[in-house]
Chains A and B, each alone.
Chain A
Amino acid sequence: MLVYILRRLFYALPILIGVNVLTFLLFFVVNTPEDMARAHLGDKYVTEDAIDNWIEEKGYDDPLFYNSESQGTGSFTETIFFNKSLKLFAFDFGRSDEGRDISSDISDRMGPSLALALPTFMIGVWVNICVALMVLMFRGSRLDRFAVAIFVTLMSISYLFYIIVGQYSIAKLSKLVPVSGFNEGIDAWRFLILPIIIGIIAGIGAGARWYRTLFIDVSGQDFSRTARAKGVSEAGVLFRHILPNAMLPILTGVVVVIPTLFMGSLVMESFFSIPGLGSYMLDAIRAQDFAIVRAMVFLGSVLYITGLIMTDISYTWADPRVRLN
């Protein structure tokens, strides 16, 4: 087991290096720091001095890979590649273009993000599975076809529409909950309940439909027929045979997402002014703060790879056929 995890971590390393090199290429080679400075300071009527100042202030004035002016290891460490890219591996994200410490920003904002994303996701999966199971009970009937039509309709509606209309009708018109904002501690639920509900509803269409197809796939397999031939009731077949066998694909979809929940939801957080990582990223994108975007890209990949490893591990208890080897 330990060897297995070690091996997976070992495999993850080249991927992280790849992500690192890719972001480095995008942010420093395709676009030079000078381009960024221009974009920041406004492209017209900008003096060379102002640009140089900006670059120096942010620490983008070093050479890319090799610093011939420095001595010893300095010729490698005093470069953009070392300072801005390699340091990410030590989770040293540096400072944002506005001079704030990114690492502390991230740790402050993870909490609210998770408080919103985790319940949305977990309850969402649970609701989707329940809905799908209920529909499966009426398989082939008119109700089944009706439910599928509803699913397709729900998934054809833009996510933004759910948020806008939900926020407008529930918060603004009926004034049941605050429109937006966030509070520390237990009081946060008043602000979170609406986005969570909207998030779940927005996901039902695609989610329940996916689970329904999955369950139908599994229920068509031979062992379901064996179970019926043993005299197991339809509910028993569903819960003791179909569901455990559907766990594997469900886990693939679910476990890999869990770590990335830390990243929060870009759109939801900004609509409801929740100070999480999602709105942090959105603000960074809108302000063209590439230092933050770079940090978040790296963090996102790390979390995704963690998710992949967790998925593999979770297989081993969901499926006896998969013993780590």
Chain B
Amino acid sequence: MDLAFKPVVLWTDILIFILVGLVSFFIYTLRRNPENRNRWREVFSTKLGMSTFVIIMTYVSVALLDSLHFRTELPAAEGQSSEQVYYNNKVNSVLDLMLGEMGERQERTYSSPFSLKSWNRENIKTETGDTVRDYPELTFGGQHLESPDDQAIDMVLQSFKGIFSGLILAGILIGIHWLLLKRSKSTQPALPWSSAWITFAVIMAVFGWLVTMGNLYHVLGTDQAGNDTLYESLKGIRTGVLIGTLATLITMPIAISLGIMAGYFRGWIDDIIQYIYTTLISIPGLLLIAASVLLFQVWINNNPSYFEVGLEKADAKFLALCFILGITSWTTLCRLLRAETLKISQLDYVQAAHAFGVSHLQIIWRHILPNLSHIILISFVLDFSGLVLAEAVLSYIGVGVDPAMASWGNMINLASTELSREPSIWWNLAGAFVLMFTLVLSVNLFSDLVNDAFDPKTKLEAA
């Protein structure tokens, strides 16, 4: 049966694609200058740079795939006119398609990883009609098995199958890339592609394994509502990546324009801008964010009519959160840019531009902004990991991502009570932690390399 679908476009979806476009364009313009190209080359000429970049790209692709939303058409019910089409209220994404049925295999409550039975004892009616208190079997986890004794063998076989299919796919893609590389005759010394390939192969193998196993068992168990933890953690990727990037997207224009204005024009403009950011800095950050989020929540509750689907409301809240994070965190970058602009404005080439009667706007655009780009870039990468980590804390305080949205912060928050249960439920924490840690660590390592390559101070030290 061929079902139609209706795309759902959320605000955050649009923004993330705009952002990806902007970042690509930014990197493209950076590449034009040979000096910058050499610096990028320096970043990617290390094995670490290659592998972390592949990991970050994986996360970004998952987030992008998870940002293509649609609603499927419901099969026409009996007695319903065939013209009338109803769409499912559940919004799916391309990522959901790729993960198979992982998201739809809902149990009743907790179950541990690879378990065939529930974590809770329940009253079960046996065939003879007695009521026994025992662990009920799961509806989906391991249902393909003929008998529970086969589990060990089945897991080994399926693991092989999953890893193997992942590796084959990886092998094909790497092969294509290798051929392309061989074709292009570059005089530059070779980049350490092999480490990128190895990382990619490992990621693909893990994915193959997770998708295969995730459709048969609950690889990371289930949470209180019976949702598959692995699925939830994977859905958390989009939230994490988006919060890290969208907030900076809002930060950047404010910080850049105000920072440059303050540093370039000085005088009363500088005084006003300095006043604004000192005032903002002096307010405790968490409180300001919390207060703003709460106020926005009050507004949403009083105006429920704006949002059609539950996800749209969650999305609006999420967007507001990014916006608030952006509004409250531009000050650091603004200060940095102001100081640097002050320095650059005194340099001879800006003075020369003045002597040529170049207009203020042109001076800023051609002489100042390009020479600030490395600071902007470094702070973009550095802020990213900070924001991902901040999301968890905000969710704990109760001003984070809407509970309806999958997020690592929400998962970690539940964990503190879950751990103290008997036996303790650790898989929620583990799932969220591993994915979050991998992302933040890769970004931190990558930003270190970018910093080393672009920061003039480290250059001097090496010379």
Q: Assess A/B contact in the complex (Cβ within 8 A).
A: yes
Interface residues of A (CB under 8 A from B): 14-15, 18-19, 22-23, 26-27, 30-31, 35-36, 38-39, 43, 152-153, 155-161, 163-164, 167-168, 172, 216-217, 220, 260, 263, 266-267, 271, 281-282, 285-286, 288, 290, 293, 296-297, 300-301, 304-305, 308
Q: Does B420 contact A (CB under 8 A)?
A: yes
Structural contact, B299 and A31, CB atoms closer than 8 A = yes
Taking a contact as CB atoms closer than 8 A, the residue among B275, B397, B416 that contacts A282 in the complex is: B397
Determine how close the nearest CB of chain B comes to the CB of A293; give it in whole angstroms: 5
Q: B278, A30: Cβ atoms under 8 Å?
A: no
Chain A residues whose CB sits within 8 angstroms of the CB of B393 once the complex forms: 158-160, 267
Against A, the Cβ 8 Å flags (1 = close, 0 = not) of B269-309 are 00000011011011110111011101101110110000000
Which 5 A-B pairs have CB atoms at the shortest separation, nearest pair first? A300-B284, A18-B279, A156-B441, A301-B282, A156-B440
Are A156 and B291 CB-contacts (below 8 A) given A220-B460, A301-B282, A304-B282? no
Q: Interface SS of chain B: helix, strand, loop or mixed?
A: helix
How far apart are the CA atoms of A308 and B396 in the complex, in Å? 30
User: CB < 8 Å: which of B275, B295, B429 contacts A15?
Assistant: B275
The 0/1 profile, CB within 8 Å of A marked 1, for residues 175-204 of chain B is: 000000000000000000000000000000
Q: What is the number of residues of chain B that contact chain A, defined by CB distance less than 8 Å?
A: 48
CB distance A156 to B284 under 8 Å?
Answer: no
- Chain B residues contacting A15 (CB-CB under 8 Å) are 275, 278-279, 282
* Sample of 9 A–B contacts (CB below 8 Å): A35-B302, A38-B302, A156-B437, A160-B392, A160-B393, A172-B420, A217-B457, A293-B291, A300-B287
Contact B461–A220 (Cβ < 8 Å): yes
Given contacts A30-B295, A156-B385, A288-B294, contact A164 B279 (CB under 8 A): no
The residue in chain A whose Cβ has the minimal distance to the Cβ of B419 is: A168
Tell me the complex Cα distance, A153–B389, Å.
13
Q: Tell whether A39 pairs with B301 under 8 Å between CB atoms, given A19-B279, A155-B444, A281-B287.
A: yes
Neighbour of B298 across the interface among A19, A31, A286, CB < 8 A: A31
Determine if A164 and B437 form an interchain contact, defined as CB atoms under 8 angstroms apart: no
Least CB distance from B16 to A in Å reads: 23
Q: A158 contacts which chain B residues (CB < 8 A)?
A: 389, 392-393, 412, 433, 436-437, 440
List chain A residues, Cβ under 8 A from B392. Answer: 158-160
Query: With A31-B298, A263-B284, A297-B287 given, is the CB distance from A160 to B448 under 8 Å?
Result: no
Q: How far is the CA of A31 from the CA of B302 in the complex (A)?
A: 11
Asked if A39 contacts B298 (CB within 8 A), the reply is yes
Contacts A31-B295, A160-B393 given: A304-B281 contact, CB under 8 Å?
A: yes
Residues 416-433 of chain B, each 1 if its beta carbon lies under 8 Å from chain A, else 0: 100110001000010001
Question: B interface vs A, CB < 8 Å?
Answer: 275-276, 278-279, 281-284, 286-288, 290-292, 294-295, 297-299, 301-302, 385, 389, 392-393, 396-399, 412-413, 415-416, 419-420, 424, 429, 433, 436-437, 440-441, 444-445, 448, 457, 460-461
Contacting residue for A19 out of B283, B399, B440, B444, CB 8 A = B283
> Are the CB atoms of B284 and A285 closer together than 8 Å?
no
Between A31, A167, A271, A285, the greatest number of chain B beta carbons within 10 A of the residue's beta carbon is seen for A285
**A18 to B: closest C-beta gap in Å:** 4
Is the Cβ of A285 less than 8 Å from the Cβ of B294?
Answer: yes
Note all chain A residues with C-beta closer than 8 A to B288: 297
A160 in contact with B279 given A31-B298, A152-B448, A285-B399 (CB within 8 Å)? no
| Distance in Å: Cβ of A54 to nearest Cβ of chain B | 14
- Bound complex: CA of A35 vs CA of B419, how far in Å? 38
A276 to chain B, nearest CB (A): 14
Kindly identify which residue among A156, A161, A168, A305 contacts B412, using a CB–CB cutoff of 8 Å. A161
Known contacts A15-B275, A22-B279, A152-B441, A160 near B396 by CB under 8 Å: yes
How far, in whole Å, are A169 and B37 apart by their CA atoms in the complex? 48
CA distance A23 to B299 in the complex (A): 17
> Min CB distance, B437 to chain A, in Å?
6
A residues in contact with B416, CB < 8 Å = 160, 163-164, 167, 271
- A187 CA to B64 CA in the complex, in Å? 53
Tell me the minimal C-beta distance from B237 to chain A in angstroms: 15
Name A26's contact: one of B286, B291, B302, B440 (CB within 8 Å): B291
B294 / chain A contacts, CB cutoff of 8 Å: 285, 288, 290, 293
- Please determine whether A300 and B397 come into contact, CB atoms closer than 8 angstroms: no
Quick check: B385 and A164 within 8 Å, CB to CB? no
